[in-house]
Amino acid sequence: ALNDIQTSLGITGQPVTHDVTKWHDVMPNYHIRHHEIVVSLENKIADHYPNVILAGCSYYGVGIPDCIANGEKTAKRILEQVITH
């Protein structure tokens, strides 16, 4: 994933830190400040990489209904960007 991001965005630096967690037969729980952190990340990405859109269960809900809703919302945002640019 890191190689894909570096190639797509032209980033040459390495992450300062990272954490990988594998969940076996359970639904993951977000950190208590998860929403606040995601909003901060969205704002920083919007400032530096305005055409990058966060999507998926890492950010917007781990259940199937959340993933479907996020997929629909993301598709609409992509379509809006394509139409306006």
- In the chain, what are the domain boundaries? 23-84
List pLDDT tens digits, range 25-63.
Answer: 888 789 999 999 999 999 999 999 988 999 988 899 988
The closest alpha carbon to 60, from 39, 32, 81, belongs to 39
The closest alpha carbon to 50, from 15, 23, 20, 80, belongs to 80
Nearest-angstrom CA–CA distance, 71 and 67: 6
Q: Which fold has domain 23-84?
A: FAD/NAD(P)-binding domain (3.50.50)
Query: Would the pTM count as exceeding 0.75?
Result: no
Residue 49's identity, in one-letter code, is Y
